[in-house]
Amino acid sequence: MGWFAPVVRIKGRGRYAFLLAWRLDKHGKWHGHVAWLVREQVLWKGVDVWMRAEDLEQVQGQDYRRVPRRFDDDVPF
């Protein structure tokens, strides 16, 4: 079975999301690229955003070692 993005919990919202990547900005702050699905009536919509790392928390049992890390001067996603 292939690799799947691990799940994180978004603090204060109780929402869970897939952690797609980490990015270090020019100020030395980490941000997580997260994604989740939202149901809109009968359709599902994918949402992806960059969030501050301090707004995300690890979920027990998830493996975060393979999440890609990018730095501000890297080519953007």
Average pLDDT over residues 36-53: 95
Burial 13-47 (b: 16+ CB within 10 A, else e): eeeebbbbebbbeeeeeebbbbeeeeeeeeeeeee
Query: With bands split at pLDDT 50, 70 and 90, how would you rate the model's confidence at 8?
Result: very high
Contact at 8 Å (CB) between 47 and 37? yes
Average pLDDT over residues 53-57: 97
Q: Return the pLDDT at 13.
A: 86
